[in-house]
A = this chain, B = another copy of it.
Amino acid sequence: MAREKGAKGKESRLRLLHAAARQFAVHGFHTTKVSSIVGEAKLSQPAFYLYFESKEAVFEELVDMFRTSLQAVINDSQLPQQESGQHSILDQLCHTIQSMFEYFYSHPDLTRIGFYQSPDADEIKMELVQGIEKMLRMEQRNGNLSTDMSMELVAECLVGTIERIIFTQLLPGTVSAEQLAIHIVRLYVSGLTRKQSKV
């Protein structure tokens, strides 16, 4: 199976993958018919099975792509050099969130699939929570954050926020990734009370 080698084959596979992502994102797994996928990809149904084992298999492939990319984004964005100097509080977190938002924004279908449609969604979000929790803990250790809240709970809250914001603000294009990241971090850091925040 999947003996394809040449450029044409790879292109067809990609077309199918994109079409599948679109359909799954919009209609969900069950409502998406293989026939619509191949329809959008302008191929016949058997062609689908030339490149994928089953409808489930493509779905999983897409979910894995999302999952892997998301992890990569988190890891890669963690790099910004921690200089000795005064980077304002939580720059790191803000930067990571912005990077994630940028990824989500440029992969809306995968994001919808990975966050909404997949049975693994919970797991994926858990991983996200853990990543964020780690960052929060670090800041906490650095003395930048209050010690009387469970950072795990805060991370959960933040992930919930992120998740929702993606679909109501980011993907519709209402607000930019950067703005969104800034707003959210400021909110979480300083809260809603009058005294101005410094972020």
Q: A192-B145, A192-B149 are in contact. Are A165 and B156 (CB under 8 A)?
A: yes
A175 partner residues in chain B, CB cutoff 8 A: 153
* CB of A75 within 8 Å of the partner chain: no
* CB of A190 within 8 Å of the partner chain: yes
Residue of B nearest to A139 (CB): B192
A144 partner residues in chain B, CB cutoff 8 A: 193-194
Secondary structure at chain A's binding surface: helix, strand, loop or mixed?
helix
* CB of A146 within 8 Å of the partner chain: yes
**What is the number of residues of chain A that contact chain B, defined by CB distance less than 8 Å?**
45
* CB of A58 within 8 Å of the partner chain: no
Please encode chain A, from 27 to 62, with 1 for each CB lying within 8 Å of some chain B CB and 0 for all others: 011110000000000000000000000000000000
Is B168's CB under 8 angstroms from A156's CB?
yes
A153 partner residues in chain B, CB cutoff 8 A: 165, 169, 175, 183
Is A193's CB under 8 angstroms from B160's CB?
no
Please encode chain A, from 77 to 121, with 1 for each CB lying within 8 Å of some chain B CB and 0 for all others: 000000000000100000000000000000000000000000000
A89: contacting residue among B89, B159, B193, CB under 8 A: B193
Q: A157-B161, A159-B164, A163-B160 are in contact. Are A148 and B191 (CB under 8 A)?
A: no
A-B contact pairs, 30 of them (CB 8 A): A28-B30, A30-B30, A125-B164, A136-B192, A144-B193, A145-B193, A146-B192, A146-B193, A146-B195, A146-B196, A149-B183, A149-B186, A149-B192, A150-B183, A156-B161, A156-B165, A156-B168, A156-B169, A157-B164, A157-B165, A157-B184, A157-B187, A158-B161, A160-B162, A161-B161, A187-B188, A188-B191, A189-B192, A189-B193, A190-B191
